[in-house]
Amino acid sequence: MIINGEFLGRLRKIFDLNLYEVKVWTSLLSRGVSTAGELSTISDVPRSRTYDILESLEKKGFVVMKLGKPIKFLALKPDEVVDRVKKHMLSVAQEKTKYLDEIKGGDVLSELASLYDNGIKYVEPSDLSGSLKGRQNIYSHMDMMIKNAKKSATIVTTAEGLNRKFEHLMPSFERAKKRGVMLKIAAPITTENVRFARELSKIADVRHLDKHMGRFAIVDNEQMMLMLLDDKTVHPNYDFAAWLSSDYFAKSMTQMVENTWKDLTPVSKLKI
């Protein structure tokens, strides 16, 4: 059975399966009921691996093993699989979250923190830089920057980026505001994002940006994150950013923003 490789790749991401699992599962879907040997031939998966793969798929809720001999496996309806996989993923996520919560305040976290504190002493501030691939990683790091902000945080983004900032960073923005951090956000305000802009304006100075200034964030005039690709054309998984700790560069960028800030229209004065 030949299935488009791109389709198999999509299934792997959606259902968190490896290549052998997705090959065996789709082969079984095409047959309804089959033995491990038959599925090995159809899917081009080694026979020595097929039973392990089917056992894994059974635990995850993709297939059911029929009683009797020879042992056969039954495919479930895809919508039933979606429900089962969702429950399984939620269960696994809750269990992992529980373990991570238990680590907080324990010996493991203390030891890890000690390793980090000792190591960071030997790092020059100018060496604190790195690259971030994938929008999820970018927002996770930006969230950390906002959480650690002491004085100020300035974000310049796109119209679509404003919506994403609201979705991913609003709780951190609110906590930063309570700590006395001055928040500034500039983005093109449109009919599609004005609702989010007004919500953000309750805790930040949000202004309409009618000229493209790129995508970046500055925290405490010390750290910067620069998004290097156009978010309208790049896939979220391939979005890319550079993070660096440089008060010289951060202060220069802040000055550039400040020079244009007074010319930007506050969201409260926009007629949208």
What's the pLDDT band for 158 if we cut at 50, 70, 90? very high
Q: What is the CATH number of the domain that holds 148?
A: 3.30.870.10
pLDDT at 94 over 90: no
| Domains: count for the chain | 2
Q: φ and ψ at 53, to 5 degrees?
A: -65, -45
pLDDT at 123 over 60: no
Tell me the percentage of the chain whose pLDDT exceeds 70.
93
Question: Do residues 186 and 243 both lie within one domain?
Answer: yes
Return the SS3 of 158: coil
Domain for residue 230, yes or no? yes
pLDDT at 177 over 70: yes
Lowest mean pLDDT among 6-10, 32-36, 52-56: 6-10
CB 215 within 8 A of CB 227: yes
Domain for residue 113, yes or no? no
Domain for residue 81, yes or no? yes
What's the pLDDT band for 89 if we cut at 50, 70, 90? confident
Domain for residue 23, yes or no? yes
pLDDT score at 2: 56
C-alpha 124: how far from its chain's center?
29
Average pLDDT over residues 186-196: 95
Helix (H) or strand (E) run with residue 149 in it: none
Question: Do residues 150 and 260 both lie within one domain?
Answer: yes
pLDDT score at 3: 67
Domain for residue 143, yes or no? yes
pLDDT score at 188: 96
Domain enclosing residue 136, as ranges: 126-269
pLDDT at 180 over 90: yes
Q: Which residue has the higher pLDDT, 179 or 246?
A: 179
Question: Do residues 49 and 184 both lie within one domain?
Answer: no
Cβ within 8 Å of residue 246, ≥6 positions away: 125, 126, 129, 222, 224
DSSP label at residue 131:
E
Question: Do residues 35 and 165 both lie within one domain?
Answer: no
Cβ within 8 Å of residue 256, ≥6 positions away: none
* Sheet order of strands, 63-65 included: 33-35, 72-75, 63-65
Q: What is the CATH number of the domain that holds 36?
A: 1.10.10.10
C-alpha 92: how far from its chain's center?
18
pLDDT at 19 over 70: yes
Question: Do residues 82 and 13 both lie within one domain?
Answer: yes
Average pLDDT over residues 3-18: 84
The last residue of a domain, from among 68, 88, 108: 88
Q: Give the best-scoring range by mean pLDDT among 70-79, 122-131, 146-155.
A: 146-155
Lowest mean pLDDT among 10-19, 46-55, 113-122, 191-200: 113-122
The last residue of a domain, from among 69, 88, 107: 88
CA angle 249, 251, 252 (to 5 degrees): 65
